[in-house]
Structure 1
Amino acid sequence: AQKRPNRAWCIDGETLEPYTPKERDFYTTDAFTERALAYLDEYADEAAPFFLYVAYTAPHDPLMAPAEDIARYAGRYDAGWQATRAARWARQRELGLYSAGTTLSDAEFGDWDALSAAERREEARRMEVYAAMVDRLDRNVGALLAKLEELGELEDTLVLFASDNGGSADVVDIGEGEIGTMTRWTSVKRNWANVSNTPFRKFKNHSYEGGICTPLIVHWPRGIAAVGGFVREPVHFVDIMATLVDLAGAQYPTEHSGALVVPMRGASLLPLLAGEPLRRAAPLFWAWSQGKAVREGAWKLVSHGGPWELYDISADRTEMRNLAAEQPERVERMAAAWTRWRDRQR
C-alpha cells in the first residue's frame, strides 16, 4: 500500500481522479456505508432480491482514525505484545474457539521491555489506532444491519462478513507526525501482526494459518439451523459464488458478451447453514507470492518458498508438528494435485 498521485475514487461506473473530498472529516469507512445505505433506501420498494457488496478498506494501512475513536483505546496496549497476546489466547480458549489440545504458536515479536519509553509509546499508539479503525468499522456494519431491520429485511437477509487475509507484517512508514494523523502513513508491522493472528503462525502473504485463516461470520435468522455456534469446516472465498447461485436458484453462465466465463469453483455453504455436512468434491488450493497450500479434509500441505510441510489440522491447529517426513506418499500426492491445479490457472 503506497500513496498514489492519482487518488482514484470510484462511484458505480465513474472514476474520479485525482479525488479530493469536500468534507474535512471525510473517512472512507463512513463514506462506503453512506453509499450502501443510500442503495438500500433506493431499492427498498422493489420486490426482487438484492445483492449488496461492501468492500471496506479498513483496517488496512494507512493507520488513520478519527481522534475521538483513538481516544477510546488510550492506554489499552501499554502492556505490550506478550501481555496482549496472552490475554487474547486466554479469551479464545474461554469462548471455546479452539479445542483443549490446541497449542499456541511460538511468538514472532521481540522483547517489549527492551524498548525505550518513547518506542513503547509509539508501538502502543500503533495498536490504539488500529483498534480504533476496527471499532469504527464495527459501528458502520451495525448501521447497515440497523437499516436492514428498519426495512424489515434483516430476518431473511443472508449477511456474510469476512476478512481477506490475516494480519499483515508489511512495513510501511511514510511521512511525519503522530500515528493516526493524515501526515503519517504507517502500518501495524510484524510484532502487532503476530498478536493479531493469535494463535497462528506467520502473516498475510503466507499460506500458513496466520495468513489465510480468517473468520467468516454468517447471519441469517430464517436460514440458519443452529444460531450462535462455531462451524469448524474450512471454507474458501470460491465457495461464496456457489452459495449465492444455489440460494438464488440461478444458472451460472458459460459465456458473457461473447467471452467464455471461468467455470464456477467451490461448494455451496447452504448445507452447513442447515446443519448438514458440506459436500466438497475437490481439495482447496492457495497460491500467492511465495506461499502455496492444499487442504484435503484434515490434512494441509503448505510451503513458503521452501520444501512442502504437512500438518494434520484436526490435531495440530497451529501447524507446529510437520509430518512431511513421516508421510512422504501423502505429500507427493497432494503436491501433485496442487501442481495440476496451478497449471489449470495458466
Structure 2
Amino acid sequence: MPFSIFFGLLWLFIAPLETKMQDQPNIVLILADDLGWSDIGAYGSEVETPNLDWLAQNGIRFTQMYNTAKCNPSRATLLTGLYAQQVGYEATYLQPLKNGITVGELLQSAGYRTLWAGKHHGFDHPMDRGFDRYYGLMEGASNHFNPGPRRENEAQPAQKRNDRPFYEDRKLFQPYSPPSDFYTTDYFTKHALQWLEEYREEDKPFFLYLAYTAPHDPLMAWPEDIEKYRGKYAEGYEVIRQRRFEKQKMLGIIDENYVLSEATHVPWLSLSDSLRKVEEQKMEVYAAMIDRMDQKIGDIIQKLRALGKLENTVFIFLSDNGASAEMVNIPGDGKIGTVGQWTSLGQDWANVGNTPLRFYKNYSFEGGIKTPLIISWPKGLRTQNPLNHYPAHLIDILPTLAELAGANYPLELNGKAVLPAEGESLLPAIRGDKSIREKPIFWEWAVGRAVRKGNWKLVAHGKDADWELYDLEKDPSEIQNVSLRFPEKAKELKALFEEWKKKVGS
C-alpha cells in the first residue's frame, strides 16, 4: 500500500491530539534492557506478552525505530533528545550530562509529577535532573535477586561486585541488602505502584519513567515463570528463528522485501546433548524474564484502570539496544536462573532475538540498533493495531513528549545555554501529516558507525572497516552491499557522517 494511502486511512482512525493544559495526558515511558527486536509477541516472539500485545493492539507499532546500539548512550539520548556525543556519553557515563535538558526537567516545567523507577546508567542523580522521586540502580547491571551481601540460607550471589549503588530517593544503599522477595523487575514496579497510589488525588498529570533491567544478564527468573517455558526451546535456534520470521510476516511487521539475514548461530544439531540442554535453559530463563516484565507492565495498566486514569495515559515502550551477544563469565553454583549463577544469553540466541536482522548489541547494523516501539493512548489514538513505517530514533522521544505535554523547550537551564533537541516529534507521522523524514540520522558507538538518509544507509563495523551501503527499501536485512554500484550515494552519505562528527565534536 502506498504511504500516502496508508497514512490517509490511518488518520481516519486517529482522534485529534489535544495538548491543552487541562487535557495533558499522563505518560508512562517503559524501557527494556537488551531486548531484541523480535522478543515480544507483537513483534514475532513466542514469549507470552499479553499486556504489551494489548498496548500494541490498542496503539501503534513502529517498524523502523532506532536506538544507539548500547545501553548508556541510548539512555542519555532518550533523556535529552540529543545524540550521546553531544551530552558527553559517547564513550562513558562517568560524568554529568552536559548541554541539554532532561525529559524530567522539561515535563516538570509543564506541571508534571515526575517519577523514575529502575535503572539509571548515568552519573547525575535523577532528582537533580528533574525527577521528584527515584528508586533504582545507578549502574549497568546487577544480580536480579540480590545485588548485595549474601543472605542467610541462600547461595553466594553471583555478582561482578556486591556494592552496586541503589537509591531510594536520595538515600544511597551501597551495598544494597534487599528483602528475601526482592527481584529487580518486581521492586521497580512496586515503587512505581506505590507512587501512583500516593499521588492518586493530585490535580496534575504524572510522568513515570520505568527503566527495567530485564532481560539484561545475569539470566535470573522466578521458578514459576521459568516453568512456563520448559521444553519450548528444545527445537533450537533455526526452528525458533524461522517461526518468528513467519509470524512477523503474518503480523505485517515485515514485508516481502525481508529475507532472513545470514545466521550467525551455530547449527543446533552440532551441539552435544549437554550443551543443547544448557542452551535450552538459558532461553527458558530469558523468556521468563520478559514474561515477568510483561506481568508487571500489566500491574501498571490495572492500577491506572482502577484509578480511572488509563484512558488519558500515553504508554511508550521500547528497548535500549538489540539482543546482546556479550558474554560474562563469573564462577557460580551452576544453577542457571538462580541467585548463585551469572549466565549470559550469548551470540546464538541473540541472533534469534533480533530476527530477521543482522548482528546484535554494539553493532550499527539493524540488529544492534532497531527496537520495538509501541505507543498507546486510549483517549488520543483511536486506532486498531496500525503499523507505522516512519524512520524514528531515540532523539525523537523528548520532542514527542514535549508536544504531548504542551511543554516549551527552553533556551537555557540554570543560567546555562542548552542545545536544541536534535529529534522531532513523532505525532505528525502518527497523524499521517508526515511520511518522509528529511533530516538524516546518525550512529556511532565503539567501532560501529552509520548514517541513514531516506532509505539509504551507510554502515561500518571495525576501526578500519570499509563502509557498506544498503537500500533499506529493497534490502531491509542488509544483505546486498551496493557501495560499488552507487559510489556517489556512498560518498554523499560519508560526507554527511563526517559533517555530523564535526558538529557533535566526537
Aligning the two structures, in what range does the TM-score lie when normalised by the shorter sequence?
over 0.9
Instruction: From the superposition, tell whether residues 267 and 172 of structure 1 become closer, same or farther in structure 2 (CA, over 3 Å).
Output: same
Residue by residue over 1:236-269, the C-alpha shift from the partner in whole angstroms, topping out at 9 and shown as x without a partner, is 1110111111122211122222333232110101
1:143 is the counterpart of 2:299: yes
Tell me, in whole angstroms, the C-alpha distance in 1 between the residues paired with 2:246 and 2:237. 14
Alignment match of 1:124 (pick from 277, 280, 297): 280
Partner amino acid, structure 1, of 2:469: L
Give the length in aligned residue pairs: 345
Give the one of 226, 242, 253 matched to 2:410.
253
Pairing 1:87-236 to 2, within 5 Å after superposition: 87-176=243-332, 177-236=334-393
> Shift in Å at residue 280 of structure 1?
4.1
CA distance, structure 2, for counterparts of residue 326 and residue 136 of structure 1: 48
Q: Which runs of 4+ in 1 moved over 3 A?
A: 278-281
Bigger relative contact order (CA 8 A; separation at least 6): 2
**TM-score normalised over the length of structure 2:** 0.66
Displacement of 1:81: 0.8
1:279 Cα deviation from its structure 2 partner: 6.8
Give how far 1:166 is off: 0.6
Question: 1:4 Cα deviation (Å)?
Answer: 2.0
- Matching residue of 2:167: 10
- Secondary structure of 1:295 counterpart: strand
1:325 aligns with 2:484: yes
Q: Show the counterpart of 2:225.
A: 69
Structure 2: how far apart are the matches of 1:180 and 1:336?
Answer: 47
Q: Secondary structure at the match of 2:387?
A: coil
Deviation at 1:222, TM superposition (A): 2.1
- Structure 2 counterpart of 1:42: 198
Which has the higher mean CA deviation after the structures are superposed, 265-274 or 30-39?
265-274
Matches of 2:439 and 2:432 in 1, distance apart?
Answer: 21
Structure 1 stretches lacking a partner, 5+ long = none
Alpha-carbon distance in structure 2 between the residues aligned to 1:42 and 1:219: 24
How many Å apart are 1:229 and its aligned residue?
1.1
Cα distance in 1 for residues equivalent to 2:431 and 2:200: 28
Q: CA shift at 1:7, angstroms?
A: 2.1
Helix, strand or coil for the counterpart of 1:241?
Answer: helix
The equivalent of 2:496 in structure 1 is: 337
**C-alpha root-mean-square deviation of aligned residues, in Å?**
1.4
**1:82 and 2:241 equivalent?**
no
2:426 aligns with one of 251, 269, 275: 269
TM-score, normalising length: structure 1: 0.96
SS at match of 1:185: coil
Preserved CA contact (<8 Å) 2:391 2:437 = no
Structure 2 counterpart of 1:147, one-letter code: K
- Contact 1:295–1:301 at 8 Å: present in 2 too? yes
Return the alpha-carbon distance in structure 1 between the equivalents of residues 382 and 460 of structure 2: 37
1:243 matches 2:404: no
Q: SS of the counterpart of 1:82?
A: helix
Report the Cα distance in structure 2 between the residues aligned to 1:215 and 1:63, rounded to whole angstroms: 21
Which amino acid counterpart does residue 227 of structure 1 have in structure 2? Answer: Q
Q: Which has the larger displacement, 121-130 or 7-16?
A: 7-16
**Displacement after TM superposition at 1:227 (Å):** 3.1
Alpha carbons of structure 1 residues 47 and 343: separation in structure 2 relative to 1, 3 Å: same
Query: Per-residue deviation at 1:225?
Result: 4.7
Distance across 2 between alignment mates of 1:272 and 1:37: 32
* Identity of matched residues, %: 48
Letter in 2 for 1:250: A
Task: Determine if contact 1:72/1:132 at 8 Å carries over to the other structure.
Answer: yes
